A and B are shown apart, each in its own frame.
Chain A
């Protein structure tokens, strides 16, 4: 084999701490290396041309490019090799930027390490063989997980393009957090008035199948061909015949059920339709509070139901769906605000969360839009908003900014004035973060036009005094301590990843960060892709976002799905397992451990059992290769011998030149 080595300076990114010419010089002495050089930017057009020219001039069979992470430029150099007439898998990359120059300052040590990485790559390359891709069919259906505004947007865009959409929503209605909001900033238009039509579109779109009150149970398969199992949770109501008339709700005697939709501001009935605009508008029984399910006595709803759709025996069911792509739009949940004991959250009834306040202001909420103190129902005349409750606070492990709390706090303060014209509002804030079209103007309007008092500083404690609450905090601009007597305190609670997001990420085989937010493939250039092909992100599941950004991401994810589906066939990755039938003893341990069901048993001509890999199903995880005791099954491009060659290259004593 004739190997060429190209050591990239990456400007000064590598060359500042690695002696690139001497790495190239050392590489000339490695076995089979016939050409080695250093180059300023290997990925640039002249850099790639240099590689192509060297391949032709020196009749190279393969190349080692020592530069950045293969995540960055492996496709670039593979294409360059193909342009020069070589197979794309005759390329090896040595990552001397992320793994060397960026993490060490000692030039001598760095140069030594870079040389060793090049040696490892060259030794592996000596055992590389050309590989060729297969093609497989794509199932042009998409699964959207989460029916908030981001998921709705992604679903509608895909459905409008003629793609079948499966939408799975955990709650009994889609709409997500946006459905709970009263008004939206900065236009102060009615949230459900703009979301409602989209929800109706989802219900009526012929291309969308909606599974509400359902969760994703299991996902197998791979890009283009995922098999999804959806658990449809028992609602104890036969939705096929439920008309959503609401008669059951009127008669249900268990009126103390937790009202999740109204954030616990009021209670509701055990059988319940969460809100008037719910999609689907179907009743569901909360088994925790249902007397019939708890004690076996009652059944009033079954008696009054005109369509006889109550079924106390109903069980969860599992439905299977085949899809080619998945959009994860699972949204967010509020941080557990009760850890802020000093704010009295959870102890004083008149300390509420921003979402609870939103429900209190909403005309379809439990107070019919009248702002009332939960303790005595009195209209509050002075409302204090505390920002950054569970945001930008390292002490509660939430160092990030939740992004949209500044804006909704300003909105809520403005609306408070609208609802109660003789009221005063105070906002304790750290910084006002209002980048966005019309956002800063809005916060200024709240202060200047609506007279909202903004106090820059954190609140140290909230304590009761008579029937009011005293908010004590710092005013860092005035340099004094302030105390404000408040009738109602609203906490602008920060957001965190939706409950169970990490579990779903494991099922989807996508990465997630320490707070449970799903990881995008690249923070700038691939914001809706994940590192798992065919899985895309939208909305707050990826990180805190306001509504316009979530909608934008929903559409972006849909665009990615449509791009994927624009091809009828996808190319499979040839870096998959392959069985050496001469060595296989037919024990089929590989079939037992394969997580993808990618290995089947076949008979050879003599009737002996042998294992065979289904190339398009294999994901190249390599579990079979460590299971096979005699190495009969090998992962192409990462064979035992290739890895052993790498280890031997590294572990050999220093070569004497």
Chain B
């Protein structure tokens, strides 16, 4: 039985006890998947599982579990998605007992941005892509009557290159085989390249990028860890951290707030960058913070349901910060 068939079977069995199960279905074209809300058995047939299933569905949880109409939620999760659930549980943001997770192993998701760039480089229009097949290490795209083939590693999401959690963790169900943990890169290539820049060039780089931010808040709205909902301080007057002024400085302030609020919480799902309509390299912020937290607290967020996140506790003396030399 394929992973998808197993998954459908598990959902079919569990559905009577659940108000809704969220997975993915084929989207508006061959190239895209879109979230699927399974409410009755007939919906299950529309479920798909492929590298197109990029969305981190945990982002719906904090809202759904607060709704009076929904008590029990099922969720299909990849490795990275499941870390979001672990982190949300640690933070007591979701009633974990009301959530049923259907885990899968994932060998990487497609980066539409990278693929579209490659297709355009090949002299085609993105709109003319009409079919996509994932064939082991190869991705074949039917475009303009011909077929373009790419190495998967060149068109996958950057996070998949460094992925250490391909298999969903702490789930109730798991479909298919576990995928071996085999990160292809130690550090994200974009971060490696960025860290080679001298400080003044880094600053110039960010000034240029932040000038482009349109403050649409797509990065915030898609983030599974952004839980303040209507109370986000980037759109409040009291406290008034950020003004409406669309200047580089205010944009930067907003992005910094988002980064700081994800310290020790970001599970590197990359949804912020994927959702960004102007393709800001937001994951550079995230990864820098993730490395800082790892170095300072030796903590990987969303990896261990029993762990206490370092910024959710009080210690007079941090284990790794030896201020007094005792």
User: Which positions in A face B, CB cutoff 8 Å?
Assistant: 502-503, 506, 583, 585, 587-589, 592-595, 623, 627, 629-632, 634, 639-641, 644
Contacts and interface: CB of A to CB of B under 8 A. Distances in A.
A630 B236 contact: yes
A595 B314 contact: yes
Interface string B236-255: 10111100000000000000
Nearest to B90: A592
Interface string B287-321: 00000000000000000000000011110110000
B227 interface: yes
Contacts of B326: 502-503
Contact of A585 (B231, B236, B311, B313): B231
Contacts of B231: 583, 585, 630, 632
A583 B311 CA distance: 21
A639 B241 CA distance: 11
Contacts of A632: 231
A134 to B, nearest CB: 24
A589 B91 contact: yes
Contact of A627 (B93, B228, B311): B311
A217 to B, nearest CB: 13
Max chain B Cβ within 10 angstroms of own Cβ: one of A585, A634, A641 = A585
Contacts of A627: 311-312
Nearest 4 Cβ contacts at the A-B interface? A640-B239, A630-B228, A630-B231, A631-B239
B240 A641 contact: yes
A502 B312 contact: no
B181 interface: no
A282 B306 CA distance: 46
Nearest to B258: A629
A629 B261 contact: yes
Nearest to A601: B92
Contact of A644 (B93, B239, B317): B239
16 contacts: A587-B91, A587-B92, A587-B93, A592-B312, A593-B313, A593-B314, A595-B316, A623-B314, A627-B311, A627-B312, A629-B228, A630-B232, A631-B236, A634-B239, A641-B239, A644-B240
Nearest to B91: A587
B229 interface: yes
B13 interface: no
Nearest to A608: B66
Contacts of A592: 312-314
Contact of A588 (B92, B240, B313, B314): B92
A223 B210 CA distance: 48
A499 to B, nearest CB: 12
Contacts of A631: 233, 236, 239, 241
B69 interface: no
A644 B237 CA distance: 12
Max chain B Cβ within 10 angstroms of own Cβ: one of A506, A587, A594, A623 = A587
Nearest to B232: A630
Contacts of A629: 227-228, 233, 261
B312 A593 contact: yes
Main secondary structure of the interface of B (DSSP, over half): loop
A623 B311 CA distance: 10
Given A594-B314, A631-B241, A585 B229 contact: yes
A585 B65 CA distance: 13
Interface of B: 91-93, 227-229, 231-233, 236, 238-241, 261, 311-314, 316-317, 324, 326
Contacts of A595: 314, 316
A522 B326 CA distance: 28
B198 to A, nearest CB: 25
Nearest to B326: A503
B243 to A, nearest CB: 10
A587 B227 CA distance: 9
Contacts of A641: 238-240
Nearest to A631: B239
Nearest to A639: B239
A623 B240 CA distance: 19
A585 to B, nearest CB: 6
A567 B110 CA distance: 71
A506 B326 CA distance: 12
Contact of B311 (A593, A639, A644): A593
A280 B102 CA distance: 66
Max chain A Cβ within 10 angstroms of own Cβ: one of B229, B232, B314 = B314
Contacts of A644: 239-241
Contacts of B316: 506, 595
Contacts of B91: 587, 589
Contacts of B232: 630
A503 B233 CA distance: 39
A585 B228 contact: yes
B253 to A, nearest CB: 10
A502 B229 CA distance: 44
Contacts of B239: 631, 634, 639-641, 644
Contacts of A630: 228, 231-233, 236
B219 to A, nearest CB: 15
A640 B241 CA distance: 8
Contacts of A639: 239
A59 to B, nearest CB: 27
Nearest to A590: B312
A6 B236 CA distance: 34
A632 B240 CA distance: 12
Given A585-B228, A629-B233, 15 more contacts: A502-B326, A585-B231, A587-B91, A587-B92, A587-B227, A589-B312, A592-B312, A593-B312, A594-B314, A630-B228, A630-B232, A630-B236, A631-B239, A640-B241, A644-B239
Nearest to B324: A502
Contacts of B313: 592-593
A507 to B, nearest CB: 8
Contacts of B92: 587-588
B185 to A, nearest CB: 31
B324 A585 contact: no
A476 to B, nearest CB: 38
Contacts of A634: 239
B249 to A, nearest CB: 10
Nearest to B235: A630
Max chain A Cβ within 10 angstroms of own Cβ: one of B93, B238, B261, B313 = B238
Max chain B Cβ within 10 angstroms of own Cβ: one of A502, A594, A629 = A629
